[in-house]
Structure 1
């Protein structure tokens, strides 16, 4: 005998547990090595390792890593904050699609230890990064092309009490170019080894506050008030 649907008690259905249709089937995690007790998935661990050892991860150059950062963003932020580090993710609006990097949290602590001890940018490195960031922002999303000669021209008004001879002064500028090329902020063009395109990643890692601070220091250098040998800057490029 078939029961009429009107005889079925449907009031109990509301108390049944809800099923998350988007949830993934849980997989048992296997230790990567003897003594591995991590609670994070392997991809989250690998993303965390790269964030701690690299200056930035871009969607353009590291699509998989960047997608893992986004997927495990909340978990990674917790792990990093335990180390007084902050995860910065700038999504979209750039040629590479997005950028992720880590910054040292700035606050007064009697017992805290600074973990991001990367080599800071020198004065000329910072000045060049400042100019490139300003040029990139002014371009409004368009590609910025700059030659070695034009980079040298950016320093034409600099006065200081150390680099009085032209050879030493020029060498410092070339060293700054090489440094930012090593950071992939400057990228050599295929047609001319002395021409570079400016990676739009600089818009993400050079915040407005960093630019303002470097601008003040650059103006001091223009007046001859700062020595390149005695003043090194730590920008967002170095965490």
Structure 2
């Protein structure tokens, strides 16, 4: 009777558990010559059209950004854009967004042309970011009246009447709610929670710039969009 020799399992080749089978990519349309997988292309499209991607609201797309992060960073850098990923914003991940690279160029073209936040939108976002940071990233509940109170020291020359001033602040609240930076409370329609995503997208340079805008309003300066509106009115009168 013969016995089989013992097998030395340590000598067997290791199997890469993370390895993926070769990807057989099919063109999505006639003329599609991209070398990126479909998911990377879709993630790139979302990054270019959204202010940010959240692991909380778009877990699939956010995971694709992480998976193809290096390739996406290269494609974006060719357009003078920078991919930012901030982890730990939520329990299941963070947020991803892109920024315009800033450098002196005689021929560079700014491609990131999203609808800008207005002055009141930006200043409200500034205050919300400061409140969120002060809370240690704990949940913050704020009412509509409290947000109006954040502008109580503003004495600019354009919004002299209360109705216009109030309307601009309400519009800023609605704008930030549409971006899911403010989330309406289920118990009170005039109360909101501040999304922790704001601490990720409000970088130090952005906060510094917005603080300067707010100080201008406190000194009686005019917000840019309000000044533009008055200029158009003056031109029409002429």
8 Å Cα contact 2:89-2:200 kept in structure 1 = no
Rounded Cα–Cα distance in structure 1 between residues aligned with 2:72 and 2:26: 20
1:57 is the counterpart of 2:53 = yes
Match of 2:150 in 1: 154
Distance 2:216 2:91 in 1: 33
**How many angstroms apart in 2 are the aligned matches of 1:73 and 1:20?**
21
Partner of 1:224: 220
Cα drift, residue 20 of structure 1: 5.5
Q: Check whether the contact 2:89–2:95 (CA below 8 A) recurs between aligned residues.
A: no
2:162 is the counterpart of 1:166:
yes
Residue 230 of structure 1: how far off its partner (Å): 3.3
Measure the CA separation in 2 of the matches of 1:22 and 1:177. Answer: 45
Report the equivalent of 2:105: 109
Which segment is superposed worse, 88-97 or 50-59?
88-97
Does the CA-based 8 Å contact 2:56-2:90 persist in structure 1? no
Is 2:126 the counterpart of 1:134?
no
Check whether the contact 2:158–2:227 (CA below 8 A) recurs between aligned residues. no
Paired position in structure 2 for 1:144: 140
8 Å Cα contact 1:61/1:96 also seen in 2: no
Q: What SS does the corresponding residue of 1:230 show, helix, strand or coil?
A: helix
Q: Which runs of 5 or more structure 1 residues have no equivalent in the other structure?
A: 1-12, 232-239
- How far 1:93 sits from its partner (Å)? 4.0
**Cα distance in 1 for residues equivalent to 2:168 and 2:91:** 30
Deviations 1:145-190, CA, capped at 9 Å, x for gaps: 1000000000000011111111110000001001111111111011
Q: Which has the higher contact order (CA 8 A, sep 6+)?
A: 1
CA, structure 1 residues 33+149, in 2 after alignment: closer, same or farther (shift >3 Å)? same
Alignment: residue pair count? 217
In structure 2, stretches of 5+ residues that fail to align are 1-10, 229-238
1:99-130: CA deviations, max 9, x gaps?
A: 00011111111111111111211111111000
Equivalent position of 1:89 in the other structure: 85
**Is structure 2 residue 125 aligned with structure 1 residue 125?**
no
Give the alignment's Cα RMSD to 1 decimal: 2.0
1:212 aligns with 2:208: yes
Q: 1:80 is matched with which residue?
A: 76
Deviation at 1:219, TM superposition (A): 1.2
Any runs of at least 4 consecutive aligned residues in structure 1 with deviations exceeding 4 A, and if so which?
A: 18-21
Which of the numbers 189, 195, 201 marks the counterpart of 1:193? Answer: 189
Once the two structures are superposed, what CA deviation does each residue of 1:25-47 show, in whole Å capped at 9, x if it has no partner?
Answer: 10211111111111001110110
Which deviations, in whole Å up to 9, do the C-alpha atoms of 1:196-233 show, x marking residues without a partner?
Answer: 000100000001121122112211210113334238xx
8 A contact 2:119–2:213 mirrored in 1: no
